[in-house]
């Protein structure tokens, strides 16, 4: 049973395929825009929350400063001393951290050097063996 299409039927079939492809493309693009709109809304909400968080932190720091002015000079001096001690400790921590990182890098470099020296020795042995076998 041969299926022979007339020109009208063929034209309708081609137009329906084109229409179907156009509908699929439109649906896919509509979906992409919906997803991107949702992403934009989510990012806007995150930005708003971040702003609110920053304002709350600012208000908290202002409250802390006001509380410090309400403290006696002795207490204020203690707080200043604690802050200076904290900054000294943090600088020592930074120094020790950088020293540790340098030592780690140095050990890694030494380890790599040993590996390369062993590899060079093995290569020399293999080269000597090859030269002996060629002679």
Question: What pLDDT is stored for residue 80 in this prediction?
Answer: 85
Please identify which residue in the block is written with the tokens 């649906």: 27
Map residue 3 onto helix, strand or coil.
coil
> How far from 129 is each of 116, 121, 122, CA to CA, in Å?
20, 12, 11
Q: Which domain holds residue 116?
A: 73-135
Domain-terminating residue out of 24, 55, 70: 70
Q: Are residues 12 and 31 in the same domain?
A: yes
Average pLDDT estimate for 21-46: 94
Average pLDDT, the chain: 89
Overall number of domains in the chain: 2
Map residue 47 onto helix, strand or coil.
helix
Query: Over 80: is that where the pLDDT of 72 sits?
Result: no
Q: Are residues 118 and 59 in the same domain?
A: no
Q: What angle do CA 80, 85, 86 make, to 5 degrees?
A: 95
Domain-terminating residue out of 46, 70, 94: 70
Question: What pLDDT is stored for residue 1 in this prediction?
Answer: 44
- Worst-scoring range by mean pLDDT, 50-54, 65-69, 100-104? 65-69
Q: Are residues 53 and 93 in the same domain?
A: no
Question: What pLDDT is stored for residue 69 in this prediction?
Answer: 64
Give the E-state strand segments of 3-97 in sequence order. none
Query: Over 60: is that where the pLDDT of 50 sits?
Result: yes
Q: Are residues 50 and 87 in the same domain?
A: no
- Which position has the higher pLDDT, 27 or 61? 27
Within 8 A by CB and 6+ apart from 76, the residues are: 68
Q: Are residues 33 and 77 in the same domain?
A: no
């Amino acid at each position: 049973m041969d299926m022979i299409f007339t020109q009208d039927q063929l034209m309708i079939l081609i137009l329906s395929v084109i229409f179907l492809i156009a509908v699929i493309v439109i649906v896919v693009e509509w979906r992409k825009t919906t997803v991107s709109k949702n992403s934009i809304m989510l990012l806007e909400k995150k930005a708003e929350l971040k702003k609110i968080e920053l304002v709350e932190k600012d208000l908290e720091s202002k409250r802390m400063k006001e509380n410090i002015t309400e403290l006696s000079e002795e207490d204020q001096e203690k707080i200043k001393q604690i802050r200076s001690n904290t900054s000294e400790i943090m600088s020592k921590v930074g120094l020790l951290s950088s020293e540790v990182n340098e030592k780690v890098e140095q050990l890694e470099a030494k380890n790599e050097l040993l590996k390369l020296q062993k590899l060079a020795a093995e290569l020399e042995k293999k080269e000597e063996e090859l030269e002996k076998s060629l002679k």
